[in-house]
Amino acid sequence: MKIIDLTHTFTEDMPVYPGDPKSTLKQIATLNKDGYNDHKIETVMHVGTHMDAPLHMIKDGKRIDEIPVDKLIGPGVLIDTRDKTEISADVLRDEEIKKGSIVLVYTGFGPKFRTKDYFENYPHFGEDFAEKLVELEISVVGMDMLGPDIDSPWPTHKILLGKEIVILENLTNLDKLLNIGNFEVIALPAKFKADAAPVRIIAVIK
């Protein structure tokens, strides 16, 4: 069995969506002075590798803590879209995707995560792509980029979250899943009473 971590490390210099307050991660106690180590974090939820719950865009939608855990563990499917600017339903034509799958979209944008370019000219989902994922009854969709939309009014967020397909944003290491036939994804967010939360995501290759 091989395990691949698909999660960016949360650091004191996390990049944030333009206009959002910067995150901080500070050490507030040390072994030498206090006898123990402790850190303090201040952040919005949509930073780094995180999960969007329906409440993020849907009125009265479920919070992160209301998402059933069994929905967040399932068979993974990697979709290679590195040559696409707009990701349409056509990329799913030859894919076998079962109900309850966790679909990971590999755009190749991940290595730009800590650069200015990451927030500019990134690919996006077409509405037909999001609608096809709904039709396939997947559980989760993830991507190695900022998010499925490029701007307000966030149509693909709403299509997906409106059908309780939770969204994983800012993944890494998706290239390591290329040419892997079968793998399982485990994506467990911190259990916050909120619209989103940081998440640790791994792929398990058996």
State mean pLDDT over 6-19: 94
Would 62 be classed as within a structural domain? yes
Tell me the pairing of strands 196-205 and 183-189.
Answer: antiparallel
Distance CA 41, CA 26 (A): 7
Would 19 be classed as within a structural domain? no
Would 141 be classed as within a structural domain? yes
Would 27 be classed as within a structural domain? no
Would 25 be classed as within a structural domain? no
Interval 32-55: pLDDT, tens: 999 999 999 999 999 999 999 999
Torsion of CA 62, 10, 20, 44, to 10 degrees: 40
Distance CA 128, CA 89 (A): 6
CATH, residue 157: 3.50.30.50
- The one-letter code for the residue type at 95 is E
Would 186 be classed as within a structural domain? yes
Domain residues for the domain of 179 are 2-8+45-205
Residue count of the chain? 206
Looking at the 3D structure of the chain, how many domains does it have?
Answer: 1
Residue 80 Cα distances to 7, 77, 87, 144, 189, angstroms = 18, 10, 10, 11, 25
State mean pLDDT over 48-70: 98
Would 28 be classed as within a structural domain? no
From its phi and psi, is residue 60 left (phi > 0), alpha (psi between -120 and 50) or beta?
A: left
Interval 137-180: pLDDT, tens: 999 999 999 999 998 999 999 999 999 999 999 999 999 999 99
Interval 70-124: pLDDT, tens: 999 999 999 999 999 999 999 999 999 999 999 999 999 999 999 999 999 999 9
pLDDT over 90 (residue 206): no
Would 32 be classed as within a structural domain? no
pLDDT over 90 (residue 181): no
